[in-house]
Amino acid sequence: MKKIVSSCLTLLCVVILGLGFSACIVNPAAPEAAGSVDNIDSPTFSLEGDMFTLPFPMADLLALGWEFDDDEATVILEPEIESFESVYLVADGRILLVIVGNISDEKQMISEGTVIGIVAHAVYSNADIILPGGISLGSTYDEVIAAYGEAQSMTVYEKANIINLVFYRDNFRVDININNETDSVTLMNMDCSLQRLISLKSMEEL
């Protein structure tokens, strides 16, 4: 497990550079699918056809059959809104990477935490994820720009042949790596803004 500070995925991308999914699990306890990826101003994504809108309880993923890898289920989250943990979940040989936080005022086990970000990587996770605007691993640069418009931040890593694009919305951020040689998305991250999390924490305290 790696600590992610302030969701700085750009740094994570640089560190890990060089580096299919079957049908959905049917579980009567799983939450009903809702929303769509058509609205680029909503942090709603598709995971194996199931729709989720950030943030949401970790319990929603566990209800679909995702499980913690190794002993990560015992990790304790401190009630610090700027402190996050990245955690891998597995299901039938599939791997999913999520960013989990604690927006309560008490310590929580990570299984009780709140999913505040989702990561898709061409090497490290094989989950079928579709972000707002229909963007997924393998999408092209033109498709990304057509969906989100001009990036608010762009960094070119020439040695790695990677372009990193960052798009900001009111309540969330989308961070995308595109391989210059293949013109395809190799990494995607979507996470809630700190302002959004603070707002949610304040609402829970009312």
For 150-181, how does the pLDDT look when each residue is reduced to its tens digit (9 = 90+)? Answer: 999 999 999 999 999 999 988 899 999 999 99
Q: What is the pLDDT of residue 84?
A: 83
Low-confidence ranges of the chain (pLDDT < 70): 1-34, 82, 194-206
Q: Give the separation between CA 166 and CA 177, rounded to whole angstroms.
A: 9
Q: What is the pLDDT of residue 137?
A: 97
Mean pLDDT (the chain) is: 80
Q: What is the pLDDT of residue 195?
A: 53
Write out the H or E segment, with its range, that includes residue 32: none
Q: What is the pLDDT of residue 206?
A: 33
Q: What is the pLDDT of residue 34?
A: 57
Q: What is the pTM of this model?
A: 0.78
Q: Cβ(206)–Cβ(193) under 8 Å?
A: no
Q: What is the pLDDT of residue 186?
A: 97
Pairing of strands 114-121, 108-109: unpaired
The first and second tokens of residue 126, run together, are 């094989």
Q: What is the pLDDT of residue 74?
A: 79
